[in-house]
Chain A
Amino acid sequence: MDEKLREMVFRLCMADGTSGDETGARETAAREFAPYAETSSDTLGNLTAEMGDMGSKTHILVDAHLDQIGLIVTGIDKSGFINVDGCGGMDRRVLPGSAVAVYGKEKLYGVVCCMPPHFTGSKEDEVQETGRMTVDIGCTCEEAKRLVKPGDRILFRTEPKALLGGRISAPALDNRSSVAALVRCAQILSEKRLSCHVTFLCSTREEVGGQGAVTGAYIANPTAAIAVDVGFASQPGVRPEQCGKLGGGPMIGFAPALNRAMSEKLVSVAEKLGIPYRRDVMGGDTGTNSENISASRAGVPTGLVSIPERNMHTPAEIVDLQDVENTAQLIAEYIAEAE
């Protein structure tokens, strides 16, 4: 199972899907869901995959956002360098000297410009703003203008890879690891008789505000929802008491916007299955789609499950595959028990 799951996560991470431009990721995710559920898409580019008893009065929405952070082309200068800005919460500290792929008329490889301090007059302890950075694709101005236009997207050119144990690293694990958990969940449920209606929503634009989840939840009109995203895992500089842990199992959210009974139910299901878990307590916003979904139409009771992740919003994101599998098992059992 581990290897199949890893390959699926890698396929999803290799697909391109910057916020507002999720076509590649949507098509890849649709192929993964196709054997188990009926897929469709909507105006804002969300992917939905439905299964179970469509006539049931219980309709559970399970959301994972499809988009990833990246860069967006803002212009091309007279020497053919590409001006950029962040698309989503880009961490400028990882940009200098990064290999990137520009999704222009064709896929072009480039590098984010970086120069030693003695050339730029800057200091080595400063990182300039993303909006002042440029990408070098090795083209003249004319060539660059023919191939690239403002609005095109740019992603890190970093191959997914297996680390020690069951840990993996790839740029888009936020949030394709959760999309993979949803696909795996659909696979588990496809072997069960479901008495409820389930909609898996791979929503767009979460990194720029969650507009996909707003319209996706409105269209689905569910009776309950679970948002799945990545959460902080402990690492140097991130205190263990404020986060989860790689391999520590899904983080079950407790927050003002989350339905307390659902959170407790998720905990009891985890305990029944013998899955490790952590109560992930947030005093305010969860920073996920759960806020967008719970306020949909007249309101939707919503839960949140997070996969622990290190180095969030960098090309060096890391998750543990066992946490992805356990997240899928937890949600599948929660749904299977729903009346």
Chain B
Amino acid sequence: MAELELLKKLSEARGISGREDEVREIILNEIRPLADKIEITPLGNIIALKKGKERAPKKLMISAHMDEAGLMVTHITDEGFLNFVPVGGIDRRVLPGKSVTVGENIRGVIGLKPIHLLKKDEMAKSIPLSELYIDIGAASREEAEKAVKPGDEVTFDSVFDASGKAIKGRALDGRAGCAILIGMMRHGLKYDAVFAFTVQEETSLCGSETAAYEVHPAAAIVVDATAAADVPGVGSGKQACRLGEGPVVPFMDKRTIYDHAYYDMAFRAAEKAGVKCQAKQDIEGGNDAGAIHVSREGVRTAAVSLPCRYLHSAVGVISREDFSAAIKLTAGLAEMIEEERSDRHTLC
């Protein structure tokens, strides 16, 4: 499946918020032959117009974010260790002992005091962020300064694997969304659509905010991944969504109450496309919709999310079936949005 190859390439690319250059290059190379017009906005968003067989009755923007949560170097110690801050929401418990890449391909690990030297109560405690540091093997501050500098980006080392029914890899959150958009562009569209690949979703939503302003759409679909908690120790009522049960459609999250007609429409689009679809059964999190639906005079917005376990850790897990279904569902939903007969605005 060509989309899987692309997803691997995107998942292995490094691009924390504000440093999306490598991801942007990959996407531009993919979409140049597919798009009718490509624009890069001042903050680094890609806005690509793809013409369909027919002109769109309504300007629709379909977006996915390019960035990933990661870390950033803040300081180099006298001993040559690197202090860092998280960029985006990272649970500090996933950090100790991980392999990372810093700046221009400098390899490192997140160090921690050996278990043999811990006091008993320290063993069950996660290490405070302020005590974590990156070790790049430098013997001194001088040696470290030759290789890295404060402000350098830090990403988890990638371990993509799609040998089974699940896909495991880094940064699947935004990158799976990007791959879905490109998949739609490859398959061709019934109606014109604007595809936006946004920056800085993990930190501020300033990418989608400015992209929506620039595009000025009447409707939007945000494609990303959402936290699936269908793991041991989490009761079925708190799992939010489950892998393999199809793409997730939210009615509300911490930033957005989604357009209810589009929410209903997504389930009809799934049925029509013959794919599974599930409601997001909690209101945690938020995504680019938070900025898009309040752009200018307001934008009717829907989201299609892939259930993803271990979001914002070194390895996320998504279902291959959900991924394929999301391409079909998003394409179907886009068509239905265009073909919706009575727009809410004309009713008022």
> CB within 8 Å of B: which residues of A?
77, 79, 81, 89, 91-94, 96-99, 108-111, 113-120, 124-129, 132, 134, 136-139, 157-159, 161-165, 167-169, 232, 235-238, 246-247, 287, 310-316, 318
Chain B residue contacts of A128, Cβ below 8 A? 124
- Nearest CB to that of A147 among chain B residues? B164
Which one of A96, A120, A129 has the highest number of Cβ atoms from chain B below 10 Å of its Cβ?
Answer: A96
A116 and B133 contact, CB distance less than 8 A: no
- The CA of A126 and the CA of B309, in the complex, are separated in Å by 20
A238 to B243, CA, bound (A): 43
In the complex, the answer to whether B114 meets A312 with C-beta atoms within 8 Å is yes
Dominant SS at the A interface? loop
Report whether B313 and A89 are in contact in the complex, using a CB–CB cutoff of 8 Å: no
From the candidates B113, B157, B229, name the one contacting A237 in the complex (CB within 8 A): B113
Smallest distance from the beta carbon of A291 to chain B beta carbons, Å? 15
Among A113, A117, A136, point to the contact of B91 (Cβ < 8 A): A117
* CB-contacts of B110-147 with A (<8 A): 110-117, 123-128, 131, 133, 135-139, 143-144, 147
Closest to B312 in A: A116
Q: A138 to B164: give the CA distance in the assembly, Å.
A: 7
Which of B125, B128, B135, B243 is the one whose CB lies under 8 Å from A126?
Answer: B125
**Smallest CB gap from A313: residue in B:** B115
Determine how close the nearest CB of chain A comes to the CB of B172; give it in whole angstroms: 12
B137 touches A79 (CB 8 A): no
CB-CB < 8 A to A235: which residues of B? 111, 113, 135
Q: Are B99 and A316 in contact (CB under 8 A)?
A: yes
Q: How far is the CA of A312 from the CA of B99 in the complex (A)?
A: 15
- The interface stretch among B55-63, B232-240, B298-306 is B232-240
Inter-subunit contact B233/A120 (CB<8 Å)? yes
In whole Å, how far is A173's beta carbon from the nearest beta carbon of chain B? 11
> A99, A118, A138, A312: which contacts B284 (Cβ < 8 A)?
A118
Partner of A109, one of B97, B161, B233: B161
Q: Which residues of A sit under 8 angstroms from B108, Cβ to Cβ?
A: 163, 169
- Asked if residues A127 and B124 are in contact (CB atoms below 8 Å), the reply is yes
B229 A119 Cβ-Cβ under 8 A: yes
CA distance A163 to B106 in the complex (A): 7
Closest CB of chain A to B229's CB: distance in Å?
Answer: 4
Is B276 part of the contact surface with A, judged by Cβ < 8 Å? no
- A109-B161, A115-B231 are contacts. A99–B168 as well, Cβ < 8 Å? yes
Docked pose: A93 CA to B93 CA in angstroms: 7
Say whether B92 faces chain A, with CB atoms less than 8 Å apart: yes
Within 8 Å by CB of A238, from B98, B117, B131, lies B117
CA distance A124 to B92 in the complex (A): 7
Contact in complex: B116, A114 (CB < 8 Å): no
- Asked if A111 meets B115 with Cβ closer than 8 Å, knowing A97-B93, A165-B137, the reply is no
A81 and B231 alpha carbons, distance in the complex (Å): 8
- Docked complex Cα distance between A167 and B96 (Å): 19
**Bound Cα distance from A39 to B313, whole angstroms:** 43
B342: Cβ under 8 A from any A Cβ: no
* A-contacting residues, B193-240, CB 8 Å: 227, 229-234, 238-240
Task: Give the nearest-CB partner of A317 in chain B.
Answer: B109
